[in-house]
Amino acid sequence: MSRIQSTFATLKQKDKKALIPYITAGDPHPKHTVTLMHTLVNSGADMIELGVPFSDPMADGPVIQRASERALLHKVGLRHVLEMVQEFRKTDTDTPIILMGYANPIEAMGAESFAKRASDAGVDGVLTVDYPPEESAEFIQSLHTHGVDSIYLLSPTTEPARIQLIVNQASGFLYYVSLKGVTGAANLDINSVKERVAEIRTLTNLPIGVGFGVRDAETAKNVAKIADAVVVGSRMVQTVEQSTEENLISNVSALMRELRAAIDS
Amino acid sequence: MKMYDMPDVRGHFGQFGGTFVAETLVEALEELRLVYEKYRHDPEFLAEYAHDLKHFVGRPSPIYHAKRLSDKVGGGQIYLKREDLNHTGAHKVNNTVGQALLAKRMGKPRVIAETGAGQHGVATATIAARLGLECVVYMGSEDVKRQAPNVYKMKLLGATVVPVESGSKTLKDALNEAMRDWVTNISNTFYIIGTVAGPHPYPMMVRDFQAIIGIESKVQMQEMLGRQPDAVVACVGGGSNAMGIFYPYIDVSNVRLIGVEAAGHGLETGRHAAPLTANSPIGVLHGNRTYLMQNEDGQIIETHSISAGLDYPGVGPEHAWLKDIKRAEYVAITDDEAMAAFHQLCRIEGIIPALESSHALAYAEKLAKTMDKDQIILVNLSGRGDKDINTVAGLSGITI
């Protein structure tokens, strides 16, 4: 059983939902990333989604774009992100880490080489935004060979036949994008999410995470009622952006505790 | 012999092309793919497209024998396909006319576009005005500053120009931003991509709409000279004017196809925009797999060319394919060489060429010198240089 699967299984036994915060590796400075990851876990994260900086983040809104730009000022690339995960794993061997990013840094490293190095570093899942299932069969094979889960996005416009196609290649969990648009675009419409999640559940037993548009504790609470995991990205990154070096850890920690409490209530 | 029939049904040119986009865009692209499949051979659609090209764009564009230039250079005869004479001053409008007609048929009231130098933005704003469509053009804030006249033209035509502040603030970032708009406004918006890049079906569709350049050329060369040229030369940024003139010639194996990239300050300096000539690695950007200028971490690097229209880190996937199968050759011309060719055409032939097209001219001159007097080079003069006079004057220390 993969670390992601066992995390979901444990949560289910406790009748709890997963909280998955997103931060961009290297934002605001590479020296903070591993500390921030531990902070996220200590203040309630069940898994961490770690963004790999990319020069052209086409599917991201301004908040996460700026996070990528801040990280790139310090030349943080995929190999550095893997080193950060390795460092994190020295003291945390339980919390699943999911890398989220774009195809080109992976292709530059070589897909097979990346899969092996990610697995060695302690990465549990990979979500490659611009690798739809038709273009990624070989890559997914490499990930699975090295015991890394392949996380896929589902959108409000994904047709049932296509959901089936994606489900066949996905492992770990599915990530439902709750709105049309880029990350951090607007508040999600809980009723339409509810309908879609129910529809997806008829096609798969994989856990379903919901993200894009979870901007506050209230939304997180509502999403937790219908999904297996709540992903909080832009709001988390915004908190990082608005913090100083002195209050970065306490601000992130405070937001996490608020979200955790809302989800568990 | 098997006819050239790329791409495959999913937009692959061998290992290049494809549909590398987030799931949120997949349905929109699928819808576009099906609509284009439906209309690309539809007689009524094609008749309307042909009518617009004739009466609105002013096609066919002539082919002109640059006799004085040929004599001065010595060697092969240089002929120019005059895309600079099109309405809006470049080949870009061939494509925007076609895509806007599709937008109309799909019932989309709003079109968006990305633009670098502003030529595609102006061509999109033009056709949007004519068809009564709302138009938003994304343009890197650096380019907005450099291309003020085109920005104003777009506004005159009723378009909204949005300066893009992210990344390197140039063409690639404008494309990112247009994609973000599209994914947010999918239900009412048609994205008119200006070059043979992007996810499938764009590289194929833009090529098809630009192929009129090569289709006319074949007929005109036959009429004028009773034969086809020995070489066809065109500049390549994303590569739409080159694909347009190359495509109908791909199966004519004795015609050399030569794409000219921007060598900027020189390939050896790293400050260029020539991924094919410089043997850049293969990667994924803007929805397709192609040769890409990038660093060892796979981050896209900043490019340089004097010509904003060639200042792009990737290249259309079909060019990557034509390079690999050795059907087309790719070379590069520096800023200085392009400028010399620019001035030469102004003075000798009375034609002010776009800086983009000046790259093709510069290479044609080099090639002509190696040829006999009865050999023929057809250059795609993709645009006129009115938009560039501020840049050119600036290089001479003159402010207009």
- B283 → closest Cβ in A79, A107, A166: A107
Please tell me the distance from the alpha carbon of residue B33 to that of residue B48, in angstroms, as a whole number.
20
Tokens of B22: 């987030």
Distance from CA of B281 to the nearest CA of A (A): 8
Assign A248 a pLDDT band (cuts: 50, 70, 90).
very high
- pLDDT for residue B117: 84
- A→B contacts (Cβ < 8 Å), by residue, are 53-59, 61-62, 65, 69, 72, 75, 77-79, 102-109, 129-132, 134-135, 152-155, 157-159, 162, 166, 177, 180-182, 185
Closest CA to B78 of B382, B388, B366: B366
Q: Do B27 and A182 touch (CB under 8 A)?
A: no
> What is the rounded distance in angstroms from the CA atom of residue B300 to the CA atom of residue A31?
24
B225-242 pLDDT per residue, tens: 999 999 999 999 999 999
What is the interface size between A and B, counted as CB pairs within 8 Å? Answer: 123
- Region B183-190: mean pLDDT is 92
Residue B201 has which token pair? 């079906």
* CB-nearest partner of B10 from A54, A134, A185: A134
Q: Is the pLDDT of residue A212 over 90?
A: no
Radius of gyration of chain B (CA): 19
B147: pLDDT strictly greater than 90: no
* Burial (Cβ within 10 Å: 0-12, 13-18, ≥19) of residue B329: middle
pLDDT surpassing 70 at residue B1:
no
* Nearest residue in B to A65, CA atom: B166
Residue B371 is which amino acid?
Answer: M
A153-157, A261-265, B392-396: range with highest mean pLDDT: A261-265
Catalytic residue among A27, A46, A49, A228: A49
What is the distance between the alpha carbons of residues A204 and B90, in angstroms, rounded to a whole number? 52
Span of A18-27, A177-186, B79-88, B370-379 with lowest mean pLDDT: A177-186
CA dist., res. A140 & res. A149, Å (int)? 8
What is residue A258's predicted lDDT score, i.e. its pLDDT? 98
The shortest CB-CB distance from B20 to any of A54, A78, A130 is to A130
- B100: its two tokens: 């806007």
Q: Which of A52, A74, A100, A157 to mutate to test the interface with B (most CBs of B within 10 A)?
A: A157
Tell whether the model's pLDDT for residue B40 goes beyond 80.
Answer: yes
Q: What is the DSSP string of B14-26?
A: TTEEEEE--HHHH
Render pLDDT for A19-46 as a digit per residue (tens, 0 to 9). Answer: 999 999 999 999 999 999 999 999 999 9
Instruction: Say if residues B341 and B397 touch (Cβ distance below 8 Å).
Output: no
Distances (CA, A) of B213 to A176, B63, B91, B94, B251: 45, 10, 8, 9, 16
Closest CA to B124 of B60, B186, B195, B27: B195
Residue A196: its H or E element: helix A190-201
pLDDT at A213 over 90: no
The span from the CA of B92 to the CA of B383, in Å, is 9
Average pLDDT, chain A: 95
pLDDT at B231: 98
Q: Which amino acid is at B43?
A: P
pLDDT of residue A136: 95
Q: How far, in whole angstroms, is CA A78 from its chain's centroid?
A: 16
Q: In CATH terms, is domain A3-264 a member of 3.40.190.10?
A: no
Active site residue A56: no
Among B365, B347, B364, B358, smallest CA distance to B382 is for B358
Q: Which residues have a Cβ under 8 Å from the Cβ of A12 and sit 6 or more positions away?
A: none
Asked whether the predicted pLDDT for residue A185 surpasses 70, the reply is no
Q: Which residue has the higher pLDDT, B305 or A213?
A: B305
Prediction pTM value = 0.97
Residue A188 has pLDDT above 80, yes or no: no
* Average confidence (pLDDT) over B162-166: 95
Residues of B assigned a catalytic role: 92, 114, 382
Q: Which residues pair with B283 in a beta bridge?
A: B290
Domain definitions of chain A by residue range: 3-264
Chain B residues lying within 8 Å of A69, measured CB to CB:
166-167
What is the arithmetic mean of pLDDT over A180-199? 82
Written as six digits, the tokens of A258 are 């608020």
Mean pLDDT estimate for chain B = 96
Nearest Cβ partner for B299 among A72, A79, A157 = A72
Cis peptide before A28 (omega within 30 of 0): yes
Confidence of residue B119 (pLDDT cuts 50, 70, 90): very high
